[in-house]
Structure 1
């Protein structure tokens, strides 16, 4: 009888074992970590299992280790893990191209600009000196520069150097001649600056820059490919796993797609097409969706920039009573693009900075959207908006896409530019976030640096790296650390229709994440800037390790 019982017991045990699944096999187990999932409850996990580039499960240490087996099991020693960081507004290709140009960022005078250009000319035999980065607002002499000295300093060179914001360019006299630009030249949506004698100074603002497009040496596809790969390398090192490129041609988007397909490009890209007639007339299909690339947005320039006084204001600039700036895209064209995007289920993203530019654009969007929708149209920058217009974001589900480091770059001179009362309307990050309960955050690089941790620091402190001003610039517009992180992860993903694939660390989503050497949600504010990205993972693969 005992033998029969033992046999029955053994049979039951075997039956039970056969009915149980063995530990599930995955590719990677990350454990012993502090993982900010950025899910709906902003939960913190200890471990996650990854297979085929996606998260299978995330949760407590014991659950993951008991349930899964992995080819690679990594003990993170309590390090902090965040979802892969998303830059919601950048110029990814443009940044890559600047890496082979003259870097004028941080120059404190026109003379300093010349010295850097001289060094470049000595080392390079090119006929052209092309660069970017000067900002007259950082100089003692804050007037726009002129080309009066360029011919004598660089007699055998063509010079074209962009202002840091990309909304103005200084060119030498021979470039003006090559392009046929004279004192009689005119352009809508831009300005050719003239001296007291009525002659061009060499500074072209906004659409006036297009007058030299035909004479600037064309960038080859090979050079663009190299620029994209170098930009990717730098971005991944600072923790970016997705970038939004705010303004590409159809050919450039196709090139990014090809680099993804052949395995050279790992970083994910949300592409916005520059508003061009070839798109409007329907001659080319534009919507594109792969695991690495999404393209369904049209980028339109509403107005210019505050730094070059091209931003369109409701009343004149405080430091130039003759100017209110201008619209780059007229109101009738804004309505045309809005109708086109709605009819074709495309996202409309409009660069708007000034109070009048924002009002006109928001009203154009509202007239077409007519209330609740899920097209997720966006205002890019949204730097200066009259408080009476804030509700237009909420009423029409329009997403504000803002760049916190613009605050900490512009705060030194913005009151001089727009006055004390209107200063209170600027960079209203918190107020605009409250309209729809989200905000998409980015850098606008190469206008600002590429570092997302600098974005985070600027969002939660609104001070420069020395801690100025105490308490932050317009401190009522601070966002919390949790909100800032959401703006760089899940809210940025929502702004690109990708919240089901990325933006948080949850089962079924891409295993895109970064490992930091400290907890930026808990550390002292000053420590945020010294935080290091230790690892960057994309699609479950380690792409960078410090």
Structure 2
């Protein structure tokens, strides 16, 4: 492969390439595997970067583990606020998170924010609540348990204020470097007023202008919001919450909380208004939606928008839905007709799918094992764009491709080629761009991998197989990551 000015200029055998480009510099990859670089279609850069250097609770196996990790962190970082992430009580024998009293006992007087793995609820200390007293008057408040909904947004805002500009820059840079080291050349940042703030998004977009960092496509999730530097008004514009925090809007009550059907933040009229306004303005819209009641409201909202702008205009706008976990074949077919992209996360199924995972705990085995139906979405004609939702799951693209192929629900896996395309071409398509191919005239955006045998042109993806190691990541001819070739 020969590249010139960030574009692929030639593909062919070595001898003819050397003859055609006698003055070119040569890089011998030693038999390594070259493929289009990955796109992560859903990230939260600052939160993920903070986790890289902050308190990581994803390995905790019990309430005691969580409290011990917090206590040790506070001892090692005295007089500093704590930002942590990743606890998941559904995996713990107690099936409960720590109480606020327990947190206060191991971190007395310390502002502590510990987001659940799905980032839709958080454990906090009294010292942090005192920085956001309005949380006590908002929906989702609890004096003892994790905070969710509007109360969570209030304390999250206070926690974000604890992060200095320099800490934020360090976190964002650490995240982008880590993404490049995993063969990712582009990420879609899903920002919003309840997630990170405009200043955070602006700083990230400015940072990513450097040639040696992955490209960032920014989305701003605010109903009727100002576009500003964002690419679209979507991403995490919440129609509902998350299943782990029992805030996803479901049609039947949660199996492990029969008095709740979650939370519906937007109705069909609001959804239709946003989609209509964005379509008419030529702006890409999108929503975060997970539960079946939320998906039904979204489909109804798009149907109302179609009456206002027409199906062709909707399809041309290439709107997108994030997560889309509880969706029927009929709904997928309707969404496909409107050109809606499914921005989905295969590692959700790997982490919480099946008849014994967290989804089954929340919804029961039958409902809980029917989520993230990738094959159904693909068969309906929806374009799939794979992402991680990091820090919810790791941005580990090959593991995500593997998870999509070996779905925990029989019949819902996709082929290796389709999964790889969803994590490359699908990500560019979701942003209204083209990319994800190695062809003459295409951008020189690729990754080089150390891997074993190839099967049908891709690394082995069998469960337990050793996945490829990234040796080099290149975006538009600029090297983002490089390690020594062995």
Alignment TM-score, normalising by the size of structure 2: 0.89
The Cα of 1:152 is off from its aligned counterpart by 2.2
How big is the shift at 1:110? 1.4
Instruction: Check 1:505–1:476 CA distance in 2 against 1; reply closer, same or farther (3 A cut).
Output: same
Contact residue 49 and residue 171 of structure 2 kept, 8 A: yes
Structure 2 counterparts to residues 60-209 of structure 1, below 5 A: 60-180=13-133, 185-187=137-139, 191-193=140-142, 200-209=143-152
C-alpha separation between the residues in 1 aligned to 2:170 and 2:468? 29
Distance 1:84 1:70 in 2: 27
Provide the residue aligned with 1:224 in structure 2. 168
> 2:260 maps to which residue?
323
SS of residue in 1 equivalent to 2:22: strand
- How far is the alpha carbon of 1:344 from its aligned partner? 1.7
Matched, 1:302 2:245: no
Q: Please, which of 498, 501, 506 is the counterpart of residue 439 of structure 2?
A: 506
Q: Which has the higher contact order (CA 8 A, sep 6+)?
A: 2
2:218 to 271, 277, 280: 271
**What is the deviation of 1:405?**
0.5
Matching of residue 493 in structure 1 with residue 428 in structure 2: yes
Deviations 1:290-315 (A, max 9, x none): xxxxx234331111101111110011
- 1:353 deviates by 0.7
Secondary structure of 2:11 counterpart: strand
Q: State the partner residue of 1:455.
A: 400
2:323 paired residue number: 381
- SS of the equivalent of 2:65 reads helix
1:42 equivalent in structure 2: none
Question: Contact 1:173–1:202 (CA<8 Å) still a contact in 2?
Answer: no
Q: Does 1:239 align with 2:154?
A: no
How many angstroms apart in 1 are the aligned matches of 2:464 and 2:443?
Answer: 29
How far off is 1:57 after superposition? 2.1
Structure 1 residue 207: Cα displacement: 2.6
> Any idea what the Cα deviations from partners look like across 1:127-169, whole Å, max 9, x if unmatched?
4222111011110111343212122222221222110111001
Matched residues, number: 465
In structure 1, what is the Cα distance between the partners aligned to 2:205 and 2:128?
A: 35
SS in 2 for 1:475: coil
Aligned-residue offset at 1:62: 4.3
3-state SS of the aligned residue for 1:367? helix
Root mean square deviation, CA, Å: 2.3
**2:399–2:467: 8 Å Cα contact kept in structure 1?**
no
C-alpha contact (below 8 Å) 2:284/2:317 kept by paired residues = yes
CA contact (8 A) 2:275 2:302 kept: yes
Query: Is structure 2 residue 349 aligned with structure 1 residue 407?
Result: yes
CA drift of 1:63 comes to: 4.1
Deviation (angstroms), 1:526 = 4.1
Q: CA deviation at 1:527?
A: 6.1
Instruction: Assess, with a 3 A threshold, how the Cα gap between structure 1 residues 192 and 399 changes in structure 2: closer, same or farther.
Output: same
Asked if 2 retains the 8 angstrom alpha-carbon contact of 1:535 and 1:542, the reply is yes
- How far residue 265 of structure 1 moved from its aligned partner, in angstroms, is 5.2
Highest CA radius of gyration, 1 or 2? Answer: 1
CA distance in 1, matches of 2:362, 2:206: 44
Shift of 1:404: 0.6
CA shift for structure 1 position 276: 6.1
- The one of 250, 274, 277 aligned to 1:337: 274
Give the CA deviation at 1:415.
1.9
CA–CA distance in 2 between the matches of 1:286 and 1:162? 28
Give the secondary-structure state (helix, strand or coil) at the position aligned to 1:75.
Answer: coil
